[in-house]
Structure formats: C-alpha cells, structure tokens
Amino acid sequence: MTQVTTAVYAGGARIDAAGAAGDARSARAAAREAGGFAWVSIVDDDTDRLAQLVAEVGVHPIAARELARTHQRSLFERYGDDAFVVLQPATYDDAAETVRCDEVDVILVEGMLITATRSGRLDLDGIRRRLDDHPHLIARGPHAVLWAMFETVLTGYRDVLDGVENDIDEIEDQLFGDDPAVSRRIFDLQREAIDLAHATTPLPDVLERLGSWIAAIDGAETPGWTDLRGRAAYVSERVQAMRHTLDDALTIHATLVNQRLDEKMADLTEVQVRQNEQVKKISSWAAIGFAPTFVASLYGMNFRYMPELDLPWGYPMAIGFMVILSAGLYVVFKRNDWL
C-alpha cells in the first residue's frame, strides 16, 4: 500500500496548502507560490511503484531509476541540479543479535525534498514535529530536513553500537570457557558488523561532499554539518574497532581451541607411553616365564630315547638350563630398559 505524506513550509513554519495533502505536484506548486519548499514522503514496499511516483513529480530520470534498486551503502550523487542521497538507518535486535538496516532515499530538487522508503521504521513524523518546534531550522530550507534526517540516523546508531559492543563484551567472557557455540556467535556478529560498516563507513565522505554542495548553493557552510561529519567519523571508527575486536576474538578462540587440542593430544600420548611401558614389562616377564616352560615341555614329551633321561646329572642340567635361560633373558630385557 502506497502512503504519501506532504508538508509545505514557508517563512520558517509549516503552512496549510489547500488541495496539497497527499499530492506531490500540488504540494510543490503551493510551495513555489508561497516562496518555500515542500517535503514529500512516500512509503511503499514496491520499488517500481516508488520510481514511477517520483518520476511523475519531474525529478531527474537517473535519480528516479536509482529508486528502483536497493543500495547496501550510504551514498550521495548529483544528477544535474538534483541530488540523490541514500541513508541506512539501523536497529539492533539484542535477543537475536542481528542488525537491521533500512534504506531511505532522499531526492533534493528545486523547491522540494522527497523521501522514499520501503518501510515506515524511520520516524519521519518525529522529524516533522521536531522541525515544527524549531522554526530557525525550517528557515534554512530543505537542507534543514536533510540535516535532521542525518542527525536522527546518527543518533540511532548509538543504541545499535552499544548493543553490539555489549554482546562483544559477553563474547570476551566466553572466550576462556569451553562453550563451543562462541565461535558461531563471533562469526554471526562479524557478519552484522560488516553490514553496519557498509552503512556507516561512507558517511564521513557523503557528508563532506554534501556539505560542500550545499555551501556552494547557499554561499556559506550550513551550521551543523561540521558536527554531523565528526559524529559520522566517530560512528565509523567505532564500527571498524568492533570488526577488529571480533577478528581478534576469533583468532584468540582458534588459538585456545588448538591449545586445548594440543593438551589433549599430549595427555593421550602420555597415556600411550605408559601403556607401552606396561606392555613391554608384561611381554618381558612373559618371555622369561616361557623359557623354563619351554624346557619343561620339551622334557615332558615322554620320548623313549632322550640321552639325558638315563644320566644322573640330567635333572640338575635341565633345572640349570632353565635358570640360565631365564636369567639371560632378564639381563637382555633389563639392558634394553624393558624392565
């Protein structure tokens, strides 16, 4: 469903323009007649319909086509005398740990400012009320509306950044535990930080170029743009710092995981070494015990013709052979550190 809201400003205040409510062309005509400007906001989830509505107002064709596609980054472009600005207001769902960026397209043409969104999540009514309470802002023209929108978006980033940084602090506490889900949490937050960086990193450059363009039109820099540039740079730096922190956290987690694996492998190796020592000892004593058994079994075969059976020293010889064989094996195993 398409929602069109119009407001006409002149003399530092909003004025009633008969027949201009909800009609962009009538609002622009009324603003020209009053020597002011019109603010037209369009909310529609159909990008093609958005582009068609804006084209009917008479904006630059390329600017109208830009509305037919989504943008991942904030930007500022000029098409002839028209200006096209993309803002990315963000919200943070702390429970799901997800950042949601909505797109707001702003087109500045002579005597009119158009805002086009696919959702109503940016509080445009709040911006209108704020402008109504500050006539000195409205007196600056449509650039004041653009300034108020940037200020609102930058203020919204503060809550988003605080929420993400709070979750990063929780991750740092999890790093030195055995929670296997922490790596997934870090990866998910990295993805959200990247989306947030797409929205915030271009802002300082956008505001720099936009401020220069407005200063060239007005003949002097509009008050407040310097402050916006400083805040945008601060937001961008915080986002980049969060990305570096998450990268470091993932590296530390991988290091800790490898360290734990190494410790487990060392413990397993130690167990195997102890088992091998026990096997060697058991095997050695088994071999020593087998030697007399072998001699006894040999003489226990009950063959009739065995030369030692009829000799008086046959029995002592067999016993001695058993002792010598066992002692020899003991010495050999002892020298080889099997016993």
Assign 58 a pLDDT band (cuts: 50, 70, 90). confident
Alpha helix positions (H), 120-141 = 124-132, 135-138
Instruction: Name which of 167, 202, 200, 203 is nearest 185 in CA terms.
Output: 167
CA distance 55 to 240: 38
Biggest CA pair distance of the chain: 144
- Mean pLDDT for 291-316 is 70
Q: Which residues contact 86 (CB under 8 A, 6 or more apart)?
A: 71, 73, 74, 75, 76, 103, 104, 105, 106
Residue scoring higher pLDDT (232 or 183): 232
Residue 109 has pLDDT above 80, yes or no: yes
Assign 1 a pLDDT band (cuts: 50, 70, 90). low
Assign 232 a pLDDT band (cuts: 50, 70, 90). very high
Mean of pLDDT over the chain: 81
* Percent of the chain surpassing pLDDT 90: 9
Residue 219 has pLDDT above 60, yes or no: yes
DSSP notation for 80-137: TTEEEEEE--EEEETTTTEEEE--EEEEEETTEEEEEESSS-S-HHHHHHHHHT-HHH
SS3 39: strand
**Highest mean pLDDT range out of 96-105, 214-223, 289-298?**
96-105
CA distance 90 to 105: 14
What is the pLDDT, as a whole number, of residue 204? Answer: 92
- Mean pLDDT for 23-30 is 79
- Mean pLDDT for 256-278 is 80
Residue scoring higher pLDDT (305 or 287): 287
Residue scoring higher pLDDT (284 or 91): 91
What is the pLDDT, as a whole number, of residue 20? Answer: 60
CA distance 123 to 26: 24
Measured at the CA of 61, the angle between CA 44 and CA 17, to 5 degrees, comes to 60
Residue 41 has pLDDT above 70, yes or no: yes
Residue 307: both structure tokens together: 């030369």
